[in-house]
Chains A and B, each alone.
Chain A
Amino acid sequence: MATEHSRATARLMISPAVLLLLAWMIVPLALTLYFSFLRYNLLMPGMEEWAGFLNYKFFLTDPAFFSAVWKTLELVGGVLIITVVGGILLALLLDQQFWGQGAVRILVIAPFFVMPTVSALVWKNMFMNPVNGLFAYLAKVFGLPPFDFLAQAPMLSIIMIVAWEWLPFATLILLTALQSLDSEQLEAAEMDGASFISRFFYIVLPHLSRAITVVILIQTIFLLSTFAEILVTTNGGPGTATTNLTYLVYVQSLLQFDVGGGSAGGVVAIILANIVAIFLMRMIGKNLDA
């Protein structure tokens, strides 16, 4: 009886927190849904009227939409490939014994603490700038014409910036996973005649599969909503070369003042993110069982 009572009391006690969190989530979602069915333009206050699915129709038939979906996937995929492969290599390197190990590990993790806006601006103005940037300087040293990264390869540049920010996260997770590998397994494989490469593919990589899954899942969630880096570097351009879904929603609602259309885009983005999440869980989520 005592446990029944204490359980009921416990539920009562946590209910304010749960309700608050629920409201925090439900209210914006409900408002977004509501706005998405309205003709709601900030330039015409007081003129809101029911629009049905018109906003969705306009958003989904906009050629910019398909381009934005494609750009979003390009960005997420590119960053994932760079961070997972680079993260594994860096983790293997940092797992070795060397002088100054502690300091190096902290330095490697440091980029994660830099705000996205700041790091994107640093990359834009100090590295990629065709006049003053470090890369331009290096190109000149070798007698090559400087490369205007953000104009000539805008998506690749954004991918590089975002990958630079997320590489420490991937490295950190993969390094801890690597350190939990039983060294006797590696020694057994060595005795069994496995070369360094075979040991990596047969022992280390399978051991890391769960950590890699975690990295991919978490990063995908955050990368789908990449925004700050695009805003401060390319503004979605040139043209729509770097306009992803998040940026398109921003353009729609805050540059064209079309709150209704922007909300519809937001809802579409939520649905697409969920589709991606379901596919991801199907594909690699089984690694998390057991």
Chain B
Amino acid sequence: MSAITLKNVTKRFGDVTVIPGIDLSIEDGEFVVFVGPSGCGKSTLLRLIAGLEDVSAGVIDIDGADVTGTAPAKRGLAMVFQSYALYPHMSVAGNIGFPLRMAGESKEAIDKKVRAAAATLNLTDYLHRKPRELSGGQRQRVAIGRAIVREPKGFLFDEPLSNLDAALRVNMRLELSELHAQLKTTMIYVTHDQVEAMTMADKIVVLNRGHIEQVGSPLTLYNKPDNLFVAGFIGSPKMNFLGPTYAKEHGAATVGVRPEHIKISKESGLIKGTAGVAEHLGSDTFVHVHVAPDQMITVRTSGDSVLRHGDTVWLTPDEDRLHRFDAQGKAIR
């Protein structure tokens, strides 16, 4: 149970400034996702909060107490690593119980808590196995188990699902959301996958080159992106950006429109184009339409679309759902 506040947190590695100064407040019990392209500083930010890296300047508060100089173990946070970082020579029970053993708890207490954690994570049958005898998803659960036995003030996840296959990732996503609903503990989750961010977060923090581009709920970011970066980063397939001629008519430097807000027709419309590749997903079809030699627009249409490669099509963006941006890339509202 804790609120975490960052005040002007800065990180430099030698001459390279990775994080030029971030202010952020995370409320008690929130599920916050840091998302951004690789190299944007999201993992570094998480490690700063964990205490695995020292801040170059700025203050980190947990529950109003300044923990900037506090050792990682004393911050009361638990972390799940990308590689899981299980201890290979210890059994599952040994791994989960390790933090308790380090805290000097009695054998009975450790055993009880390990069993309870294993039960919540469906690991009871595997307690005597070694990590190398487990599947990827089970290892992931052991890593989470090791985090929850400590009953930490907050959880830190560093791209925990990126080593799992697609089906398992969807499962673990649900399990993590379920776990958050049960424990109601603050969770900070780092990912480069915007689907994970959208599906799990109470609040998303979009990072780009060490800056916070926007903070908000998933739908706020989706519907009201503050700038071009967020507009392009959130949403899959990506938002289409239309050129200066069309944008000028709407008093903007760039206009963005999401694939689902464009009507596609074979008869008439605003923009003429040639249908390219169509991706059939069953429920939807994404058609990539060439409107100029170097410009392509992605359109979402119904799953039973019968457009063929090379067909001439007409596109009509929904005028009410346009996103307008000025020359600096800021949203015009």
Contact = CB atoms under 8 A, between A and B. Distances in A.
Q: How large is the interface on B (under 10, 10 to 19, 20 to 34, 35 or more residues)?
A: 20 to 34
Interface in A159-187: 182, 184-185, 187
B98 A190 contact: no
Contacts of A274: none
Nearest to A188: B85
B187 to A, nearest CB: 15
B78 interface: yes
A191 B87 contact: no
B129 to A, nearest CB: 13
A185 B73 contact: no
A188 B83 CA distance: 11
A202 interface: yes
A184 B102 CA distance: 18
Contact of B83 (A184, A189, A192, A207): A184
B91 to A, nearest CB: 12
A192 B76 CA distance: 9
Nearest to A183: B85
Contact of A191 (B52, B83, B86): B52
A198 B90 CA distance: 14
Interface in A101-135: none
B50 A193 contact: no
Interface in A196-235: 198, 202-203, 206-207, 209
B146 interface: yes
B299 to A, nearest CB: 43
Interface in B87-111: 87-89, 98-99, 102-103
B102 A187 contact: no
Contacts of A187: 52, 72, 79, 81, 85
B50 A191 contact: yes
B81 A184 contact: yes
Interface in B48-83: 50, 52, 71-73, 77-79, 81-83
A190 B87 contact: no
B211 interface: no
A82 interface: no
B150 interface: yes
Contacts of B81: 184, 187-188
Given A191-B73, A191-B77, A191-B78, A184 B98 contact: no
Q: Which secondary structure characterizes the binding site on chain B?
A: loop
A203 B103 contact: no
A72 B298 CA distance: 80
A199 to B, nearest CB: 9
A194 interface: yes
User: A182, A185, A191, A203 — which one has the most chain B CB atoms within 10 A of its CB?
Assistant: A191
A182 B86 CA distance: 10
B146 A192 contact: yes
Contacts of A209: 89
Q: How large is the interface on A (under 10, 10 to 19, 20 to 34, 35 or more residues)?
A: 10 to 19
B87 A193 contact: no
A184 B88 CA distance: 12
A194 B102 contact: yes
Given A184-B85, A203-B87, A189 B98 contact: yes
B82 A184 contact: yes
A236 B51 CA distance: 58
Contacts of B82: 184
Contact of B73 (A190, A202, A206, A207): A190
Contacts of A203: 87
A182 B85 contact: yes
A59 B82 CA distance: 63
A198 B319 CA distance: 64
Interface in B116-141: none
A111 to B, nearest CB: 32
A202 B89 CA distance: 9
Contacts of A198: 102
A201 to B, nearest CB: 11
Nearest to B52: A187
A76 B73 CA distance: 42
A192 B80 CA distance: 11
Contact of A185 (B78, B79, B87, B102): B87
Interface in B281-309: none
Interface in B145-194: 146, 150
A202 B98 contact: yes
A27 B89 CA distance: 46
B103 A188 contact: no
Given A198-B102, A202-B98, A190 B85 contact: no
Contact of B99 (A184, A192, A206): A192
B117 to A, nearest CB: 14
Contacts of A185: 85-87
Contact of B98 (A182, A192, A195, A207): A192
A193 B85 contact: no
Contacts of B83: 182, 184
Contacts of B71: 190
User: B77, B79, B87, B88 — which one has the most chain A CB atoms within 10 A of its CB?
Assistant: B87
Interface of B: 50, 52, 71-73, 77-79, 81-83, 85-89, 98-99, 102-103, 146, 150
The 3 A-B residue pairs whose C-beta atoms are closest, nearest first, are A193-B73, A188-B85, A192-B99
Interface of A: 182, 184-185, 187-195, 198, 202-203, 206-207, 209
Given A190-B72, A190-B73, A207-B89, 6 more contacts: A185-B86, A191-B52, A192-B73, A192-B146, A206-B87, A207-B88
5 contacts: A190-B71, A192-B150, A198-B102, A207-B88, A207-B89
